């Protein structure tokens, strides 16, 4: 069983980051058993033992039990990873998953009715469709969810990205306004001094340049390019694509229009285990992002963007230019709407299948 000593580089609540160590190479995966100890042998420092509940490969994370207080940045820890066992850790994880809608409701975090209720569309808003993509590798974190709030109350989702592309193109061909969010940084801050090169964006709880942030920032670039390239060929005429939420929401903005926005699902917003229907946490996170957008859209005045940058360079703008759907170089300097849900709201998401 792999054992490594490494220095903690960053901690945010239940998340412990170890930059430079490839946890995946140690067998860190869903169902793996992990034990973190103090390599100095200090008996006052309790061990941290947990079962990996999702497909995260870059961060040590568990909310129950949380990391002991002694595990902090610049502290050396010893990491031992044991593979999933049939009927053991994996069985315990399966037993902990809700088995019915009633079990699911009792397992969700206690939040206010306002936060869990799906807001009704504002009067006067035309039918529209909201999508969100949880960014990751195919089969290892990539997932999506969809909700048409004028027609349904419960989002549907999947890890099948080809199905997502089909549904997205179909909605746009039908002339529906579509809002598509990616759970990854879509714009980055350009530092005024070299010392701020990797600094987080304004109000960003963890730096985009480190750990999971750096991973999804990299993956989302070709993912958006692939998605937008597909739309250019699959939707005729091509949709009007915007990074400006106010423009997309304008009364005259009907027809095939696409808003690109950023979802920032973090901390308490994350799902931790499969739901009653067996859908992975990644799909639930995408559903949480969808509901965050619907809640934002339904309230007037609408809340300003959760995360900003003073001098942004736009990743999504670059992907849009590359796809040929737009030629405005000003997009490279444009921020997007960023929504950061404070609670997990996607536990009731249902599976989306072809048909």
Asked if pLDDT for residue 98 goes beyond 80, the answer is no
pLDDT recorded at residue 119:
47
Query: Which are the contacts of 87, defined by CB distance < 8 A and separation ≥ 6?
Result: none
Mean pLDDT of the chain: 84
pLDDT recorded at residue 115:
35
DSSP code string of 310-335:
SSEEEHHHHHHHHHTS---GGGGG--
CA distances from 19 to 4, 113, 206, 214, 287 (A): 13, 39, 14, 11, 29
Tens of pLDDT, residue by residue over 221-254, are 999 999 999 999 999 999 999 999 988 888 665 5
Tens of pLDDT, residue by residue over 163-207, are 999 999 999 999 999 999 999 999 999 999 999 999 999 999 888
Segment 20-40 mean pLDDT: 84
pLDDT recorded at residue 110:
32
Strand partners, 263: 339
Tens of pLDDT, residue by residue over 143-167, are 999 999 888 789 999 999 999 999 9
What pairing do the DSSP bridges indicate for beta strands 178-183 and 129-134? Answer: parallel
Tokens representing residue 30 in the block: 């869903």
CA distance 346 to 326: 33
Percent of the chain with pLDDT over 90: 50
CA distances from 353 to 157, 162, 207, 279 (A): 8, 11, 36, 13
CA distance 69 to 66: 9
Tokens representing residue 21 in the block: 């160590």
- The torsion angles phi and psi of 54, rounded to 5 degrees, stand at -145, -165
Q: Is the peptide bond before 125 cis (omega within 30 degrees of 0)?
A: no
Q: What confidence category does residue 142 fall into, taking pLDDT thresholds of 50, 70 and 90?
A: very high
Rounded-to-10 torsion of CA 238, 242, 246, 248: 20
Of 271, 221, 216, whose CA–CA distance to 61 is shortest?
271
CA distance 77 to 57: 17
Q: Is the peptide bond before 322 cis (omega within 30 degrees of 0)?
A: no
Tokens representing residue 274 in the block: 């499969």
Q: Which helix (H) or strand (E) is 93 found in, with range?
A: helix 89-96
Tokens representing residue 114 in the block: 């306002």
Rounded-to-10 torsion of CA 314, 140, 83, 90: 120
pLDDT recorded at residue 29:
83
Query: Which are the contacts of 116, defined by CB distance < 8 A and separation ≥ 6?
Result: 108, 343, 345
Residue keyed to tokens 């008996």: 43
CA distance 284 to 154: 11
């Amino acid at each position: 069983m792999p054992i490594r000593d490494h220095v903690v580089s960053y901690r945010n609540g239940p998340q412990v980051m170890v930059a430079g160590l490839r946890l995946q190479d140690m067998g860190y995966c869903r169902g793996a058993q992990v034990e973190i100890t103090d390599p100095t042998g200090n008996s006052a420092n309790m061990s941290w033992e947990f079962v990996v509940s999702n497909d995260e490969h870059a961060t040590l994370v568990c909310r129950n039990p949380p990391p002991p207080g002694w595990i902090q940045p610049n502290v050396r820890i010893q990491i031992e990873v044991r593979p999933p066992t049939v009927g053991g850790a994996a069985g315990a994880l399966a037993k902990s998953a809700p088995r019915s809608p009633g079990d699911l409701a009792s397992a969700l975090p206690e939040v206010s009715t306002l936060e869990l209720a799906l807001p009704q569309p504002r009067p006067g808003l035309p039918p529209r469709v909201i999508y969100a993509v949880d960014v990751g590798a195919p089969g290892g974190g990539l997932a999506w969810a969809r909700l048409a709030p004028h027609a349904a109350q419960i989002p549907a989702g999947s890890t099948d990205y080809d199905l997502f592309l089909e549904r997205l193109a179909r909605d746009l061909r039908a002339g529906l306004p579509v809002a598509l969010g990616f759970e990854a940084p879509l714009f980055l801050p350009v530092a005024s001094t070299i010392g701020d090169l990797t600094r987080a964006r304004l109000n960003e709880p963890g730096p985009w340049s480190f750990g999971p942030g750096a991973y999804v920032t990299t993956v989302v670039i070709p993912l958006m390019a692939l998605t937008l390239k597909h739309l250019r060929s699959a939707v005729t005429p091509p949709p009007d694509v915007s990074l400006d939420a106010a423009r997309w929401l304008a009364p005259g903005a009907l027809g095939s229009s696409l808003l690109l926005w950023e979802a920032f699902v973090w901390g308490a917003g994350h799902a931790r285990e499969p739901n009653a229907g067996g859908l992975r946490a990644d799909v639930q996170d995408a559903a949480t992002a969808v509901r965050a957008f619907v809640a934002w859209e339904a309230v007037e005045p609408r809340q300003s963007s959760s995360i900003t940058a003073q001098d942004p360079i736009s990743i999504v703008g670059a992907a849009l230019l590359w796809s040929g759907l737009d030629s405005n170089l000003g997009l490279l300097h444009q921020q997007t709407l960023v929504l950061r849900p404070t609670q997990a709201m996607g536990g009731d998401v249902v599976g989306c299948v072809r048909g």
